Amino acid sequence: MTTPLLNRLRRQWREKRPTFGAIATIPSIQTVQIMARSGIDWIIVDLEHGPIDLGSAHAMITATAGTPCVPMVRIAANEPWLAKAPMDIGALGINFPMICSRADAEKAVRSVRYPPKGDRLWGPFHAPFRWGVSMPDYMATADDDMICMITIEHVEAVNRIDEIMATPGIDLAVIGPGDLATSINKRGLPDDPEVVALMKRAEEGILKSGVPIGGVARSAEQANEMIDRGYLALALGFDWSLFQRGIAASFAGIKR
């Protein structure tokens, strides 16, 4: 009997169903529990910019248990050793930042797959406990369960988008407007015409490749427009930004 996959995101993207998530930067079990039970499809635990250590990340990944929410982790650099522990503690996807060439993309792909497909080292001691499966069952689907998510967030990546997206094994390509703007000295200006033009080129390259595309939606209107253009993974915000928006909405209409 074939072991069923643990990760439902692949099926949703294959069926062209958009998925929605958030990025967790606060080292908090409670925050993740709330987000995971609020209807989102995935959470990215942010080890790149958030003050989160591996112990906290493990607890946050575990906090998604009992929900359909798929935990993934963003690492600080495209290095196999940084991807290894998050996978072994239960993450079902790794978000690799600053992918700027095919060589970068190939390195990322090989980091999340066991030999002969890749270079992932064996040692998933805690992942099977998170998913309620035996070690053999975890290993049977590990390569297919793990999402290799790359981020296109530099002008050089846009210039090489076709060669990057021709790399076999990429499961999701997301566009990062913040660093993309910063790479052309437009930091803090994601709506600048030059940044928007770069994002459009990146978007066209990803969509042409057939790899699922992801990005950031700052409003329902923007999310719907992106879905109409083919986006299948939309981050609705960071934990801190969602809190800010919720508090601002609570104040709306109150005399102060």
Nearest Cα to 234, choosing from 243, 244, 242, 222? 222
- Tell me if residue 37 falls in helix, strand or coil: coil
- CA-based diameter of the chain, in Å? 64
Q: Which amino acid is at 230?
A: G
Determine which one of 49, 58, 126, 154 is catalytic: 49
Q: b/e per residue, 194-219, with b = 16+ CB within 10 A?
A: ebeebbeebbebbbebebbbbbbbee
Is there a catalytic annotation at residue 126? Answer: no
Q: b/e per residue, 163-184, with b = 16+ CB within 10 A?
A: ebbebebbbbbbbbbebbbbbe
> By the 8 A CB rule, do 157 and 182 touch?
no
> By the 8 A CB rule, do 130 and 61 touch?
yes
- Give catalytic residues, as residue numbers: 49
